[in-house]
Homo-oligomer: A and B are copies of this chain.
Amino acid sequence: MIRVLLVHDTYLLRTALAALIGRETDLEVSSTSWPGAVATSRTLRPQVCVVDMDSPDAVGPRGIRELSRRCYEGGDGFSLLALASAGRPGPLRRAYEERALGFLSKNASPDRLVEGIRHVAKGERYVDESLGFGFLEASEMPLTRRELSVLSLAAEGASIGEIARSLCLSNGTVRNYMAAITRKTGARNRVDAIRISQCAGWV
């Protein structure tokens, strides 16, 4: 019997997905939202965590990083299977950085999901073929970590001055970063750079 914890923010959809996984006689599934993921993994002690990477909470303080830490450093030894959208390389890259073992497109069939769960439960890597191009895009993320920090603050509506104070930089340096970001993303202007980066899931 493989114990599975499904992490997805919408109750209706995670309940439906859990019911579908639970039809398999070798899988025993529970589900929770991102804010409850770490606590539930502690009590449930699953072998596999299936995580929805498209939620903003997946990259928040109780998101994939914390879950991954428990998984690989806490000695609990479960494996992560990430659900991602093919057109958004950002969350895919994030799951890769946090050492997910499996990667499945949300447009895959339920059969593939079940197959993926069984693979990662055995400690085997599982990558859905339809995510191949997404991985290519994820590997080509053009921005540095510092540029991403600047862009994230800009996307929240911070002014040049506020970004500068927040990151202990001069206004001129922030302007230079913003110009580099606009150039590297092929954007027309700052708002366009934010739009492009949000569509790709980088910020």
**Residues of A near any B CB (own CB < 8 A):** 10-13, 15-17, 19-20, 83, 85, 104-110, 113, 154-159, 187-196
Q: How far is the CA of A108 from the CA of B16 in the complex (A)?
A: 12
Q: A110, A156, A191 — which one has the most chain B CB atoms within 10 A of its CB?
A: A191
Further 12 A-B residue pairs, CB within 8 A, beyond A10-B107, A157-B195 = A10-B85, A11-B107, A12-B105, A13-B13, A13-B16, A15-B20, A16-B16, A16-B19, A19-B110, A157-B192, A159-B189, A194-B194
B191 touches A110 (CB 8 A): no
Q: Contacts of A189 on B, CB cut-off 8 Å? A: 157, 159
Q: Contacts of A11 on B, CB cut-off 8 Å? A: 106-109
> Could you say which of B19, B108, B157 contacts A12, with CB atoms under 8 Å apart?
B108
CB distance from A55 to the nearest CB of B (A): 11
B187 touches A157 (CB 8 A): yes
Q: Contacts of A113 on B, CB cut-off 8 Å? A: 12
A-B contact pairs, 12 of them (CB 8 A): A10-B107, A11-B107, A11-B109, A12-B106, A12-B108, A12-B110, A13-B16, A15-B20, A15-B110, A16-B19, A155-B191, A157-B189
